[in-house]
Structure 1
Amino acid sequence: MDHTQSRRLLGRRPARRALTAVSLLAVMAVATTGCASGKASGGDGDQSSAPAEGGSTSAAKNGKNAIYVIGGKPDDPFWSAVKRGGEDAAKLVKSGGGSVTFLGPKTYDNLGPDAAKLTLTALSQNPSAIVVPDWVPENQDDAIKQAVKQGVPVFIYNAGGVDAAEKTGSLKYIGSDDYEAGKAGGAKFAEEGAKNILCVNTVPGAANSEARCDGIADGAKSNGAKSKQLPLPSSNFGNPSAVTQAIKGALLKDDTIDALVTIGVQDADSAAAAIDQASAADKVKLGTFDLSDSQLNRIKAGKQLFAIDQQPYLQGFYAVSIANQYLSYGVIPPQNPLLTGPLLVTKDNVAEAIAGTKAGVR
């Protein structure tokens, strides 16, 4: 998508410095608890857990909060962090006799339609509230609007931005600003001397991944560099060998590429392998969106330039907490969007990020 489309999807964007400040304050505000999970029933996608212990899918009928959270694949490391935050927040829901149900697709091959089906599955269960990313608006917005029309409070999180929340009638957007996150990454590459950046996108067409690559391109351009996208079939997502070979091929075909950025941590590991196999470690800088132990260890060792943290734990924690508070007491934070990132992790602050992963919240 072009720059104008990206801004329309993602909404208003505070300055980069303001985003960083919000992220740091958000980290300080987190309280960690625990919650059990199981398996849900019904729906077209893989449903990664059932209502939090002590709840039921009919909880909305007896005055107890029944919150449905739609997320990514259960074996996606990023979504494991989101779900961990949601599960921690679910303990408070459970203490009031309510439930939190997590739903996710089996694959990312048909992401928008699958997410729409899961939204309708949640709606069929008489929910008190639905929490959902707006990954592919043209596929998902009708389902979200249907929930809103039936009087179900909906909270957009992770993808879509405040414009998606306003367009669908949802109450709030909770998450990072993917376009601004990309701009920060593109600018960082250029500041470090990169001239030709490749943005590897294994979920082409998804609003958040497209916005990330758009941001990289604009951040690079504003600092005298350029960027292009390498779109790969979404079936390659989670297939390290396929992604490695595709990136290696791109590097060997174009020896002017001097920086790579990936939309997620699994792809970053594949990109690191591709750089090594192409014997390009001395000239190609690596960056990624999101965090994992391997990314942080490479940053610490000087083998990776940065990782852009949208703080997924906070997205799950805040989304479930805010939905529960709204349902229980009618209170809601006035900020819209409620930002959880981006926060750029480099060699200067990687030690703090590593400490967060050891605590299980990064």
Structure 2
Amino acid sequence: MIRQRLAAALVLILSLAGTGSLMAADIFVIGGKEDDPFWTIVRRGVEDGARLVEAEQGSVTWLGLADYDDLGADAAALIRDAIRRGADGVIAPDWHPALMDPALAEVVAAGIPLVIYNAGGARAAERLGALAYIGSDDYLSGRMAGDYFASRGARRVVCINTLPGLENIADYCRGLGDGAAAAGAKGETLVLAPGSFGDRDQVGAAIKARLLAQPEIDGIFTVGNLDAMAALRAVNRAGKAGRVQVGSMNFDEGSLSSIRLGAQLFAVDQQGYLQGLIAVTVLNAHANFGLNLPAKEIRTGPAIVDRSNMDQVLRGVAKGVR
């Protein structure tokens, strides 16, 4: 109900401004897999933003990845597909700059407005000539996690990188190491093979082996909620339950349940719903009214989700936006 009211209010505001010169913008949004819980929430935000675009006779087209095996190259192909299909605006993450920046540069070179969201930060927006970056600060997310682990007694924490080559994932792990070190703990990274993200057997086996080989490890941080359950299972199978704490980027109902029960310590929220909603709204406003933001970055996170704020988070979950 709240989402419908927001969309209706935006439509009313723009109708009062006058719609005679509106351009029917066809916006293309690049995102993750359809069955990835985090990207389901991002897409919900995109769809709610699309209500405004559609009220102005425009359209929003979602182009999602089929898998994460060759993520950077596949995302670049989707960006170029949007250009070929006559996009009036493109919204895309910048997960893998080496592979994706050339495609994103082609968007700008073609005179198509670009918004970077979810990954890349203000640096990517400035570098590529995008209107803005909408999303969380990936390095700060990791740093916050490292500090949180240390504040709860962890002394040696491992960041499990299951998406090697992606700059935002490397930033999570780098930030975790710096945050832990600043609080007197130690952070390190375990890099797994490409294609391991979300593979519970592969991820779980790697974490269990690391825990058995290095018994001083007392914290595991996963770069996505899809790996959190694998980490929890690995901790149990290694006989470390109660001695090794688990945290993750993002969350779903399973990980929230684990946090509520005390099995998982925390998650870092980047509020994906707002990333999708704000990105579409900003790009549509630029296409129709020439509006621009005074800053290149709107942050949607990070924030810690733990047992202390569980009730508030669950209210968002019940509405399908967290």
Answer yes or no: same fold by TM over 0.5.
Answer: yes
Specify which of 12, 24, 32 is matched with residue 3 of structure 2: 32
TM-score by length of 1: 0.82
Does structure 1 residue 272 correspond to structure 2 residue 232?
yes
Aligned AA for 2:185?
A
Alpha-carbon distance between aligned partners in 1 of 2:50 and 2:184, rounded to the nearest angstrom: 46
Q: 1:31 offset after TM fit, Å?
A: 5.0
Q: Which residue pairs with 1:221 in the alignment? A: 181
Alpha-carbon distance between aligned partners in 2 of 1:315 and 1:260, rounded to the nearest angstrom: 27
Alpha-carbon distance between aligned partners in 2 of 1:282 and 1:358, rounded to the nearest angstrom: 30
Alpha-carbon distance between aligned partners in 2 of 1:255 and 1:146, rounded to the nearest angstrom: 49
Structure 1 ranges of 4+ moved more than 6 A = none
Q: 3-state DSSP class of the match of 1:235?
A: coil
Q: Which residue pairs with 1:204 in the alignment? A: 164
Q: Which residue pairs with 1:109 in the alignment? A: 69
Aligned AA for 2:321?
V
Alpha-carbon distance between aligned partners in 1 of 2:180 and 2:23, rounded to the nearest angstrom: 52
Alpha-carbon distance between aligned partners in 1 of 2:306 and 2:296, rounded to the nearest angstrom: 28
Q: Which residue pairs with 2:246 in the alignment? A: 286
TM-score by length of 2: 0.92
Specify which of 98, 110, 125 is matched with residue 138 of structure 1: 98
Alpha-carbon distance between aligned partners in 1 of 2:312 and 2:294, rounded to the nearest angstrom: 30
Specify which of 260, 278, 282 is matched with residue 322 of structure 1: 282
* Structural RMSD (CA): 1.5
Q: Provide, for residues 128-166 of structure 1, a one-character-per-residue CA deviation record: whole Å limited to 9, x for no partner.
A: 100000000011111111110110000000000001111
Q: Provide, for residues 256-289 of structure 1, a one-character-per-residue CA deviation record: whole Å limited to 9, x for no partner.
A: 1100000000100110111111110121011001
Question: Does the aligned pair in 2 maintain the 1:112–1:135 contact within 8 Å?
Answer: yes
Alpha-carbon distance between aligned partners in 1 of 2:239 and 2:252, rounded to the nearest angstrom: 24
Alpha-carbon distance between aligned partners in 2 of 1:345 and 1:219, rounded to the nearest angstrom: 17
Q: 1:77 offset after TM fit, Å?
A: 1.1
Q: 1:189 offset after TM fit, Å?
A: 0.5
Q: Provide, for residues 196-244 of structure 1, a one-character-per-residue CA deviation record: whole Å limited to 9, x for no partner.
A: 1010111011011110011100000001111111111221222212211
Q: 3-state DSSP class of the match of 1:198?
A: strand
Does structure 1 residue 235 correspond to structure 2 residue 195?
yes
Alpha-carbon distance between aligned partners in 1 of 2:232 and 2:210, rounded to the nearest angstrom: 13
Alpha-carbon distance between aligned partners in 1 of 2:58 and 2:117, rounded to the nearest angstrom: 21
Number of residue-to-residue matches in the alignment: 306
Question: Does the aligned pair in 1 maintain the 2:45–2:321 contact within 8 Å?
Answer: yes
Q: 1:33 offset after TM fit, Å?
A: 3.4
